[in-house]
Amino acid sequence: MKTAVALRHIAFEDLDGIAPVLHAAGYEIHYVDTPTATGTEFKHARDADLLIVLGGPIGVYQTQEFPFLQQVIDLTQGRLQHQQATLGICLGAQIMARALGAKVYAGTAGKEIGWSNLKLTREGQHSVLAAIGESDPVLHWHGDTFDLPQGAVLLASSAQYQHQAFAYGQHGLALQFHIEVSAAGLERWYVGHVGELNNLSIPELRKQGQANSQRLKPRMEEVISQWLNQLA
């Protein structure tokens, strides 16, 4: 059986809806909780058939505060250099950008939290993201952004931030936004990230999440399935 390792930086930001897609594609899933991960666990992640680097509320540039981040960056860099399948979501996308030599920094447009549509580039319209398109919103939940790495292909932007998704060869896919979330899974986010939501209505976010996550689910499944087929 193929192995998929998910690097998890905070317990409630997990694979959520992506997990069943991976199981259906024949992957055995393992989580590595990066803040307490051992060298053996990082080696397992390095050697996995597929690596998914998940989100979290810290910045890629905070390696002094969170030393494990450098290990994650180095691991991701090695996999991308060796053309090993790597998917990054939110913080994971920023880690991929940093691993490829690009700058990651606090966004000047402020935090982007909530549901809004993507604008696909020409390349994005002919990529796996075409399954999402531009008519259905995705969840954004970040304050940092990144420069586009050299050799990467920009796939999508939002009204607030230009760099929302990029491909790096056939083996690397970075998504600044969240396609993995379910309505049930987001209930943990509203609690865990409550400090970020002072100026936002949690009941309104919940209402949007319940509606939009259901519409997004089959599109997410198609995106992930197409990308896995592309790897094969």
pLDDT in tens, 98-114: 999 999 999 999 999 99
Which superfamily, per CATH, for 2-231?
A: Class I glutamine amidotransferase (GATase) domain (3.40.50.880)
Provide the pLDDT for residue 178: 98
Mean pLDDT by 10 residues, the chain (232 residues): 97 98 98 98 98 98 98 98 98 98 96 97 98 95 98 97 97 98 98 93 97 97 97 90
Provide the pLDDT for residue 198: 86
User: What pTM was computed for the model?
Assistant: 0.97
Provide the pLDDT for residue 122: 98
Provide the pLDDT for residue 109: 92
User: Left, alpha or beta for 139 (phi > 0: left; psi -120 to 50: alpha)?
Assistant: beta
Domain coordinates of the chain in residue numbers? 2-231
pLDDT in tens, 156-186: 999 999 999 999 999 999 999 999 999 999 9
**Tokens representing residue 207 in the block:** 């209402």
Taking the C-alpha atoms of 194, 199, 200 and 201 in order, what is their torsion angle to the nearest 10 degrees? 90
Which residues contact residue 57 at a Cβ distance below 8 angstroms, ignoring those fewer than 6 apart? 10, 193, 196
**Tokens representing residue 19 in the block:** 């997990």
